[in-house]
Structure 1
Amino acid sequence: MTLTKNKYYFEALDYFPYNMSECLDALNYALSYEPEDADSLCLMGRVYSEVLKDYETGKKYFEEAMQSNISNVNTPKFYIECLLSNEDYDEAEKLIEYALKMKGIDKAEIYNCKSLLSERKGDSKQALEYIKEAKRFCYSRSELDILEDREKLVQNKLPKPRTRKKAD
């Protein structure tokens, strides 16, 4: 059954987010073969949170994915993004702390999420610190470019120091 489930999961992943009708068909087939597959549940959570903007339903799928496989490194990033979009900051903070302890997770992505959390809470200086931390765990040029763009964005939000002009 796993090969069949994987076939449908990869089809769904390939269709996401451009052909949602085909994505959902393939995803439902994958879940019918293995209802507790963490990757398929995570993708269903992404459908609800990223495409439909139904964060509460998305959260349910992410929670189910985490319960199904607590060590799945794919789920936390998307779950955190859903929590941030839904303004569930306390839950997001707890999940970030847990995710940073997971073996094999992309820490750069998680620190980027942590910077987003700080930024949403209005602490741009702290957000910059987390972006710097994320850069330490960057291992590709494209990921580093994304973080540098975020760093510029957050820096632009910081208040500019006032300069005094001397009177002649």
Structure 2
Amino acid sequence: MNSVNKYVLQALDNYPYYLEGTLESLSYALSYDESNTMALCLMGRVYSEQLFDYEQAKKYFQEALAYNVQALEVYPYFIQTLIDMGEYEAAKNTIKFAVTLPGMPLAEIWIKKALLFEKLRKFKKALKISKMAKMDNLDSNLSSTIKSIEDRIKSKLEMNKTNNKRNK
């Protein structure tokens, strides 16, 4: 195993419980290979998920994709960051492209699309897309995530109906 992979694996092993170790390993990995998409992706995740610095996270994700547009590991996190930033059109376009890539874990991308529709308060569309996520899902852990997303969206749909009745 080369040094880059060693440090990337250490960073992945440390994340998210030991951020100092994660950042140290990522720094080493990127000093050996600044174009390592896995290291760039994880650095983007640190900035997005831990530091809430979405602009910096976006730069890391874009840099990873500039080196390799087929870096499948980047897309779910990049799309989530775009949604968090309110860049809905960019998220939609990224989803549209991501689903065309061979080997893309489609269930994860459909989940992101459902979250995008949820954020836009298009709850019926979000539920329809969550069903697509169920159909393409092969991961038991992801099944519970999809179910909780559907439950939350159904709850919001009910609240929406109740509010609409009151406003009439």
How big is each residue's C-alpha offset from its partner over 1:75-106, in whole Å with a ceiling of 9 and x where there is no partner? 00000011111111111001000111111011
**How many angstroms apart in 1 are the aligned matches of 2:123 and 2:93?**
20
How big is each residue's C-alpha offset from its partner over 1:133-156, in whole Å with a ceiling of 9 and x where there is no partner? 111101122211211121111011
| Runs of 5+ unmatched residues, structure 1 | 163-168
Residue of structure 2 equivalent to 1:86: 85
| Runs of 5+ unmatched residues, structure 2 | 163-168
Residue of structure 1 equivalent to 2:165: none
Percent identity between the two aligned chains: 37
Residue of structure 2 equivalent to 1:166: none
Amino acid at match of 1:56: E
**Is structure 2 residue 56 aligned with structure 1 residue 63?**
no
1:99-114 alignment, distance < 5 Å: 99-114=98-113
Residue of structure 2 equivalent to 1:20: 19
State the SS of the aligned residue for 1:158: helix
TM-aligned CA deviation for residue 72 of structure 1: 1.1
TM-score normalised by the chain length of structure 1 = 0.92
**How many angstroms apart in 1 are the aligned matches of 2:139 and 2:85?**
30
Larger Rg: 1
State the SS of the aligned residue for 1:139: coil
Runs of 4 or more consecutive aligned structure 1 residues displaced over 2 Å after TM superposition: 159-162
**Residues matched between the structures, number:** 161
* Root mean square deviation of aligned Cα: 1.3
TM-aligned CA deviation for residue 24 of structure 1: 0.5
Amino acid at match of 2:126: A
Task: Point out the structure with the larger helix share.
Answer: 2
